[in-house]
Amino acid sequence: MKIKTIKTKPFDDQNPGTSGLRKKVKVFQHKNYLENFVQSIFDSLENIAGETLVLGGDGRYFNREAIQIIIKMAVANGFARLIIGQGGLLSTPAASHIIRKYQAFGGLVLSASHNPGGPDEDFGIKYNVGNGGPAPEKYTQAFYQHSLALKSYKIAELDDIDLDTIGSQQLDAIAIDIIDPVADYAELMQSIFDFDLLRESIGSGYITLRFDAMHAITGPYAKKILEDILGAEAGSVINAIPLEDFGGGHPDPNLAHAKELAEEMFSASAPTFGAASDGDGDRNMIMGSQIFVTPSDSLAVMAANARLIPGYARGLCGVARSMPTSQAVDRVAAHYHLPCYETPTGWKFFGNLLDAGKITLCGEESFGTGSDHVREKDGLWAVLFWLNLIARKRQPVAAIIQDHWRQFGRDFYARHDYEAVDGDIANGIVEHLQALLPTLPGQAFGEFVVSYADEFSYTDPVDGSLSQNQGIRIGFDNGSRIIFRLSGTGTVGATLRIYLERHEANSNLHELDAQVALADLIELAEQFCEIKQRTGRTEPTVIT
């Protein structure tokens, strides 16, 4: 087998964000663009010769072509074994599990998560380390620095690999294993949840369900587990076939993009339970008949009821949430005397806490929850957790949520996203807020008195690493918060996210609409950041 060294020139825009490198497909199709970034990853890793690499993606446009290129580069750079999902498919949590189960050196996950797919849309790639989790900042910064000085990449001259036939192939000294992308993950789920109870509850009709796979990666996983193994009625999983463009939809599991599911769940004929997952399978939306569960509430309910799930019957060692996520889980942790950690946005920050045994459950407001079973958030795992909870408590979703609010109070919560904002305007808003921060503490705005105003920074309690400038926080003495943060997951312009939170202990007020309950904070947020004034927009792009 011939190994070629190809001369190249560096690109200056290959700095990975919170979830890897995401660009338009056409950018990745530029000559040497993908190759440069992959070589920068391989050059940054130590002692990869003879190691195992896991490879797969969410099936979006350019997935198969990219995998063929990466296979040839992995061979040229000395990996001895490649484990690849059939058809080039692996959900992100399944990839994490496979890295861990087969003790791989690491893995390359091809996904732009919840971003749209297609020839004119988005593509992404990220490296996961040996614990199965996203590469920490010390890795991603090394990738970027190597990319700025790259002069060549290595690639093997070989025919494309058959990705569709399960089995092992040998290329000289390199083993290439094409595996069922679902089997290992399904086995893991059966070790965590009470599948016998779920079969009985679904088979008896106590639980009826609808899962929207959004024509993304979780379709095959949900069909296998929910319909084939647990016996849900055929058709319970909708939009189940992964498509390169996600059927023209936006594979983001929220009320705005999963409209078909939302309409059914708020209809007179709604099933007991509804859920959706995103492009690469790591996010989830939880619904019941006539109710939407916020991701923050979902995490809190999971933490409060974890002992009812076989895999967590031993109890929790701690919980963690991203900084913008509501403080609902903090109240559960305080009640049960559990450690509770507040981290920056980005799943990689949970990895150290999980590996050190400091936490069992973790989550973020952007529709992600997970546990120590893998090192990624996990959409279908969250769905099974809720199904197991419904079956065990013998209560519908709305009753579970209302009971939780009565015990802990309700954290009214919303996120207002302003997408594709001009970069200069977005940076100007941040600079304006930074200048405003020192003047705010002690000021009263109606019933809201500012107790603190800062930029969040995080010192990792495991390795001592410091992450600064992780979002602007304005907190009030009644526990309410407004948070402003520029997202790192978009590919066009900037996305400004505004997070709003207010705790309400009075159960008589728990049924208020969240936007009504947060109206005063919404006005204050505009007063502080002036986004409508500066952009000329009248409302957010998306409210979740």
By annotation, the residues acting in catalysis are 113
Q: For residue 249, which amino acid is it?
A: G
H helices, E strands: number in the chain: 18, 27
Other Cβ atoms within 10 Å of 87 Cβ, number = 20
Three-class DSSP labels, 166-200: CEEEEECCEEEEEECCCHHHHHHHHHHCCHHHHHH
How large is the C-alpha radius of gyration of the chain?
A: 23
Token pair of 94 as six digits: 């399944």
* Residues in the chain, overall count: 544
302: phi then psi, degrees, rounded to nearest 5: -60, -45
Distance (Å) of CA 112 to CA 19, 61, 304: 8, 11, 32
Token pair of 427 as six digits: 């940076």
Question: Which of these, 505, 336, 480, lies nearest to 409 by C-alpha position?
Answer: 505
Token pair of 142 as six digits: 């090394």
Kind of pairing between the strands at 273-277 and 237-238:
unpaired
> Is residue 371 within 8 Å of 351, Cβ to Cβ?
no
C-alpha–C-alpha distance, residues 336 and 302, integer Å:
13
Q: Give CA 3 to chain center in angstroms.
A: 37
List beta partners, residue 89.
Answer: 57
374: phi then psi, degrees, rounded to nearest 5: -140, -175
C-alpha–C-alpha distance, residues 86 and 504, integer Å:
49
C-alpha–C-alpha distance, residues 156 and 172, integer Å:
12
In eight-state DSSP terms, residue 17 is B
C-alpha–C-alpha distance, residues 274 and 258, integer Å:
11
C-alpha–C-alpha distance, residues 500 and 498, integer Å:
7
> Is residue 211 within 8 Å of 53, Cβ to Cβ?
no
Angle between helices 92-101 and 379-393 (to 10 degrees): 90
C-alpha–C-alpha distance, residues 42 and 168, integer Å:
24
177: phi then psi, degrees, rounded to nearest 5: -110, 115
C-alpha–C-alpha distance, residues 72 and 78, integer Å:
10
Side-by-side strand order, sheet with 209-212: 237-238, 209-212, 273-277, 284-288, 291-293
Angle between helices 379-393 and 295-305 (to 10 degrees): 50
C-alpha–C-alpha distance, residues 524 and 530, integer Å:
10
Instruction: Tell me if residue 54 falls in helix, strand or coil.
Output: strand
First to last CA, the chain: 52
